[in-house]
Amino acid sequence: MSSQTLILASLFVAIISIAIFIFVSRRKSRAKRNLVVLIGPSNSGKTAIFSSLVYGHAVPTITSMQANSSFLDLPGKRDPIQIVDVPGHPRLRDQFKDFLSSAKALAFVVDANTASRNTAVVAEHLHTVLDAIMAIPPSQPLPTLLILAHKCDLIKTSSLSADTSALAVTRVQTILERELERRKLSQSGGMGVEALGDENNNEKLNMGGLDCRGPGGTFKFENWEGGEVVFLGTSVQSSRSDEKSVKGSIAPLMDWIEENM
């Protein structure tokens, strides 16, 4: 065999090997994305949602000091869905970053009933999540950001027939958009924004992640440049006797998982 043929044969083998490697690693990264990560402030209801998804009912909880992880088998799905519940404690909440490359969805849980009182804390926490998603390299698929307006059962309405879930979603979305726009303006004015979660971490003062398309770039989730944001209204407990079963109240999240994973 001439040396030219040998070089051509080696090149051919190298190209085939690279093609096989890329094919296998793409399949792997697609197969891995069966994960939903529950994140958000302390006491918002992440562990209650986790146990409702995994065990079918909410269990009594205390403040989580470590992440919970379990699998959910759904009819018609080949692979089980992994659910991870990351504690909201300021020193532990950044653990969600470990799952960024494999998560299909990050579910940011907000207590819709107290969101207006805790706006600054909730928005600062969400800002760290938006910043982390925007920092994902373009070669990696972006997780969908689900924002769960949770504890819908506690929303007070004048009419019994009102859709508390829709009210909770509108309330949470409006509050967060307003506060994130405020943070964006403070940053662009060179004033910096508060890092409420961990007062020792100065990096957070320069967080990005709020870029939006459209005139003026006003912060709106539908125009956010970091990918898809979906709002869902959920609850795991019922304070009204005429309401659906506990499992039914996380139905919007379950439906999203069934349709998208």
Ligand X SMILES: Nc1nc2c(ncn2[C@@H]2O[C@H](COP(=O)(O)OP(=O)(O)OP(=O)(O)O)[C@@H](O)[C@H]2O)c(=O)[nH]1
Each as own residue / partner, the long-range contacts of residues 126-129 (CB below 8 Å, 24 or more positions apart, any chain) are: 126/176, 126/180, 127/180, 127/183, 127/193, 127/207, 127/209, 127/210, 128/93, 128/94, 128/197, 128/204, 128/207, 129/39, 129/96
170 binds ligand X (CB under 6 A): no
Binding mask 63-82 for ligand X (x = CB under 6 A): xx------------------
52 binds Mg ion (CB under 5 A): no
- The set of residues, in sequence order, having a beta carbon less than 8 Å from that of 75 and lying 6+ positions away, is none
173 binds Mg ion (CB under 5 A): no
43 binds Mg ion (CB under 5 A): no
29 binds Mg ion (CB under 5 A): no
128 binds Mg ion (CB under 5 A): no
Binding mask 143-162 for ligand X (x = CB under 6 A): -------xx-xx--------
> Which of 32, 33, 43, 142 is in the footprint of ligand X by CB under 6 A?
43
Specify the 3-state DSSP secondary structure of 72. Answer: strand
Report the candidate in 174, 108, 111, 115 with the shortest Cα–Cα distance to residue 146: 108
The residues binding ligand X (CB under 6 A) are: 42-48, 61, 63-64, 87-88, 150-151, 153-154, 235-237, 239
The residues binding Mg ion (CB under 5 A) are: 47, 64
